[in-house]
């Protein structure tokens, strides 16, 4: 039965490319409970568990629900995030819509509306500066050279490149559009992938204020923040693990690396936010989390950052706060294990020991 469904989906995709049927006439595949949780209910599969995470075969990735061609294997890259990553889509096959969290951009199949994942820009992983972060469970794969490759792999990229797969001499995307209609559709979608953005100047800040899950969750929502990572800073052991840090043998603090655009947001604004999302008066703890890895500390990367941090601490002490925050030069920052990254966003929950309190 599964083989029959796969055959029907491939045949349907081919007919769409030939213009014989429209998208509504393609029979959607039945989904398992795990697939429905992601594709219909917009859940997220656990990182590093998907079958296409480290998959490197040549071919085309298609929508698990309707079979529409979405991504080429040549546009896939290893982002280290735990989910398949692509820096381009096939034609107008993927739509962008605001995520309900008000922060991210969700991506869905343009034909059937299946939830795929999220898209991020400005991270610098590839020259296209775009990362489509896709759940494996939302995808199927058509190997290169198979009978369905022409239907699946045709169509222009968002940048207007002509597709490699052709049917009756005309390039086609998975949604049955000719190159001219693909380009017109792509022009109407503000994906930002049609031309490269001008390089922007970035700056890096490092903050430690208790459990790095909560600090990252709140810092990354600030306008002008481009990228955040959680990790370990201020210790003496190379490449520490979470277990080693928790055993208090490495001297590291749980810290957050914040890459930001100084044209949009100043370091002082971010440092103020840092002091307002944790309690800077607590020593070697933050709320219920106790230990030297939960200390309050700023790791500066320039004399200007150091001066700003010390100025803000002086202001707070002038207001009566017994600030315990240390200010030290930034050393080596070790990125934490992947299951710690974007922890609350992936779980769809909120921090339990970090909240905003106005102090300035």
Helix axes 267-277, 303-318, angle to 10 degrees: 40
Catalytic residue among 53, 63, 211, 246: 211
Contact call for residues 46 and 342 (beta carbons, < 8 A): no
Cα–Cα distance, 262 to 90 (Å, whole number):
34
> Is residue 211 flagged as an active site residue?
yes
Strand partners of residue 226: none
Our measurement of the distance from residue 219's CA atom to the centroid of its chain's CA atoms, rounded to an integer in Å, reads 15
> What are the phi and psi torsion angles at 72 (to 5°)?
-95, 150
| Cα-Cα-Cα-Cα dihedral sign, residues 263, 257, 227, 80 | positive
List 108's β-bridge partners, or say none. Answer: 95, 115
Q: Which of 53, 112, 133, 353 is catalytic?
A: 133
- 302, two tokens: 């320039």
Please check whether residue 335 is in contact with residue 229, taking contact to mean a CB–CB distance below 8 angstroms.
Answer: yes
Q: 315: Cβ–Cβ under 8 A, 6 or more apart, which residues? A: 360
CA distance linking residue 9 with residue 177, whole number of Å:
18
Residue recorded with tokens 């710690």: 340
- The SS3 call for residue 18 is helix
CA angle 133/99/42 to nearest 5° reads 65
343: helix, strand or coil: helix
Do 64 and 139 meet the contact criterion of CB atoms below 8 Å apart? yes
Told to judge if 353 belongs to the known catalytic residues of this protein, a careful annotator would answer no
**Catalytic residue list:** 133, 211
């Amino acid at each position: 039965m599964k083989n029959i469904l796969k055959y029907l989906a491939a045949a349907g995709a081919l007919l769409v490319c030939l213009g014989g049927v429209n998208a509504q006439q393609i029979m959607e595949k039945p989904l398992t409970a795990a697939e429905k949780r992601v594709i219909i209910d917009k859940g997220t599969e656990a990182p590093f568990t998907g079958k296409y995470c480290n998959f490197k075969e040549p071919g085309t990735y298609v929508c698990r629900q309707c079979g529409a061609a979405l991504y080429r294997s040549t546009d896939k890259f290893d982002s280290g995030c735990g989910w398949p990553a692509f820096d381009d889509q096939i034609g107008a096959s993927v739509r962008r819509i605001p995520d309900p969290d008000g922060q991210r951009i969700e991506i869905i199949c343009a034909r059937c509306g299946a939830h795929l994942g999220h898209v991020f820009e400005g991270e610098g992983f590839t020259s296209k500066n775009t990362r489509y972060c896709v759940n494996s469970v939302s995808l199927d794969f058509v190997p290169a050279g198979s009978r369905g490759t022409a239907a699946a792999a045709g169509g222009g990229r968002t940048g207007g490149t002509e597709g490699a797969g052709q049917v009756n001499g005309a390039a086609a995307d998975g949604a049955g559009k000719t190159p001219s209609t693909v380009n017109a559709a792509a022009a109407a979608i503000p994906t930002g992938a049609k031309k490269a953005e001008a390089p922007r100047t970035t700056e890096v800040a490092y903050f430690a204020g208790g459990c790095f899950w909560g600090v990252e969750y709140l810092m990354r929502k600030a306008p002008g923040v481009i990228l955040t990572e959680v990790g370990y800073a201020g210790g003496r052991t190379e490449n520490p693990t979470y277990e080693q840090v928790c055993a208090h043998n490495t001297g590291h603090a749980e810290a957050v690396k914040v890459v930001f655009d100084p044209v949009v947001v100043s370091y002082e604004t971010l440092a103020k936010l840092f002091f307002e999302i944790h309690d800077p008066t607590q020593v070697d703890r933050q709320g219920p989390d106790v230990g030297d890895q939960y200390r309050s500390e700023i790791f500066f990367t320039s004399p200007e950052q150091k001066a700003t941090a010390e100025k803000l601490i002086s202001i707070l002490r002038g207001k009566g706060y017994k600030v315990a925050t240390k200010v030290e030069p930034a050393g080596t920052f070790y990125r934490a294990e992947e299951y710690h990254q974007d922890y609350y966003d992936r779980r769809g929950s909120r921090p339990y020991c970090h909240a905003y309190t106005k102090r300035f």
